[in-house]
Amino acid sequence: MIAVASLLHLAGLGVVFGVCTWLQIRRTGGSGFNGISGPVGSLSWWAGVLFVLALLLGLAGPAVVLAGVMGVPDGPTGTAAAVLGLVLLVPGVAAVLIAQTGMGTSWRIGVDDTERTDVALACLILAIELQVRVIEELYLRRVHGADYVAYAARTGRFLPGFGRLHPRARPVTAR
3-state secondary structure 68-81: CCCCCCCCCCCHHH
Mean pLDDT across the stretch 25-34? 82
Each residue's pLDDT tens digit, 87-139: 898 899 899 888 888 887 777 766 666 766 677 778 888 888 888 878 888 88
pLDDT in the model for residue 64: 86
Residue 170 scores a pLDDT above 70: no
Closest CA to 20 of 101, 89, 94, 90: 101
Q: Which long-range contacts (CB under 8 A, 24 or more apart) does 21-25 make?
A: 23/101, 23/107, 24/105, 24/107, 24/108
> In which band, very low, low, confident or very high, does the pLDDT at 23 lie, cut at 50, 70 and 90?
confident
- For residue 112, the model assigns a pLDDT of 64
* Pairwise CA distance, residues 39 & 171, whole Å: 53
**Average confidence (pLDDT) over 60-75:** 81
Altogether, the residues listed in the chain come to a count of 175
pLDDT higher than 80, residue 54 = yes
Rounded to an integer, what distance in angstroms lies between the CA atom of residue 131 and that of residue 125?
A: 10
3-class secondary structure, 67: coil
Task: Please state, rounded to an integer, the average pLDDT across all residues of the chain.
Answer: 81
The pLDDT score that the predictor gives to residue 171 is: 56
H helical segments located in 103-174: 118-130, 137-144, 146-155
pLDDT at position 40 is: 92
21 Cβ contact partners less than 8 Å away, ≥ 6 residues apart? 31, 32, 33
Out of 15-24, 43-52, 98-107, pick the least confident. Answer: 98-107
Confidence of residue 60 (pLDDT cuts 50, 70, 90): confident
Given this model, what pLDDT does residue 91 score? 92
pLDDT(174) > 60 = no
Q: Model-level pTM?
A: 0.50
